[in-house]
A and B are shown apart, each in its own frame.
Chain A
């Protein structure tokens, strides 16, 4: 019985293709949980490929190709699924994250190779080369850990670990030193302590997304009917000409992507084809993709021409963005306004008036984007969970703390509560490379006056 593990097996660099490899007894079942396609992966013949979508919590991530290999005919000699998605750090990480939430564990450095070796898939020379590599990775990991010592992540983790250790130490002292005047541990106290830690842990795991926003950028779709100035806006934000800007409606026929450094973070902009009904075959493909992008985006900039009245297409867009993280951008404000301001302000939460062409009002847009992406409340010095391994530790800690809280609420005895608490402490100590039981015992002796 081998645990199912997952990792990104291509370099984490902007590239055409990224591959996530899942290996283990339930690799195929795990992959199926994040897969949407015509054919189920579990029904696929060995060594064949399928086209479909990787999904995370039912939200599509990307169009992907999945390759299914059955034991022993795979790299590791176990059942393996390789999911190839479009390259770039962001999408690849999302797919990995999805695989983990579906039950896979993050692979340790060299674990695929280790399994390959154990299953007789690698010869001795290759194995030795791999050992050198693992050794080097160990050093690299140690260096990385060291640099984190200075960082905010380390401080936050350290503080949370202390809180968890404290809870565990309270339980330990209370059970291991009866008759010694250790204050009794009330379920209410335990409960509130656990709740406090849990909310901090949740924050840490949320910061993973925020951190990603900082690192990977916000997926932003620019939508609007043709010729309202979407491309001009994009160019204004990007600072140079990228989209073809003409006065002829429908010149942007596909999705133009660009990353711009805006307001101190990265906006990954998709300048989409104008959303309108069209008979032009090529343009209609562009429109379809624009709609997809609109659905997937984290932030929507809906552009309207302020010098014209709202039409049917505009109203459709307004309906479309009703419950979205969206900003209505009223462009061409250098011209006389004909748009129904009262109507659009009533229908959409955030409205900005600007002139992309003249570069006026961009500052106001910046403000609102900050607010909407939660970046406003984001302290760049605050802790980010840096990588998948760390995120997994945090998740395990959350699971443990949650189980402990459940046990308290259910009225279980402390020994049962401590099972979850210990899992949480262990997961956290793994983050910092310490030994859980030593940490707890040290805390017990420094906090309580015990011993005969």
Chain B
């Protein structure tokens, strides 16, 4: 039975790869990346055999803890990691429960991330190749650690799905979790910036981690090498207990989840409440704008893109704090403008086959484009203006305001144009409506990254005039140049926006049915 589940998992992987050569390319690139990482880890671990025990201990514990933490956290933000064998789909088959558990656990290890983790964990034995007994212990601990990772990930997935019953909660939960995660880096940096030398603090940090569920198992070999057999035994015990606890918790939550499917609860709206559709101008583009704006609020895949709005200022603040100069703060408005304006280049892909409604209605392509831009502009325009003003206020660089507004608005408007055009051509693989917004469909990484960088590159080139004018203003202190920058930004940006909407609209007029076919293929 376990072998059968494994075969199923590999078959699903193979079939999904054969659907499109690009997915194969993406997986190969992902595989090479994993392989490179692995090679680096193995060589590193073997090299450590010549280093002091303290150093290798610190590195192994930190890396091991990070691996466990990563395996547990990533499914929360990307539930698509490995649901090839979704327990919910296997529930109708008479598979003995314990065999199902074993099959799921083993198939979890045998994915690319699982194999990489396992091999790297086994390679920790390499550090101790001069002491065969310790090396054996290290291998055993590596296996236990890997299992903790994989089963921990499974546990978190099942737990989160059984805790969150409502659709809305399920969708929003991962986004809320994401915010502290993004800010984790800067927070840690700012906390540790008080300590003069971060490296000095690490061994102590690792020592503390070695007593926690995350790091205990990874500390065992080095404890033996140091001759402290007591702590080694205790930490080994901690590792085993953690694995057992995780497995039991998973077993329990899965047993519950299998008989209690996620039910949806939804709020009933009153009849006759048209929401935004009742407020917008009585034109097709108005309808599109109202619908888009409704989606920005209700669809977590859109809401996810708004994360950038609170996150960028905070990151900029930390960054400027480290640089001891508030000047870098002014970069936040253009950066937010860049992200927001390009966020609608996945708009049609998010619509998916629902775009058929637009195709069937015979709406003009330009109306479709205008509606989407208007929806985005209603909130991105105020945000960018407020950010521009707030940043020059905080940095006390008022003389830069006109040129900065020019760059921010220019970026925003130009971005509207670019995404209006590019989204009419490219269908990007995106999570389906209702899926976890952070889930990336197989092969999405590569194509999406390529298109994203292409559009960013084009946008960067098109706003060069505004950038130059801002720099010149900052350098020469000439107020006039700043005002020229504002005019250039608004005029040039508007022209490019209109051009993008026109071109994108014409593309849709000529080929909306081809676009629909491409969107259908994404499913």
A and B together in one complex = no
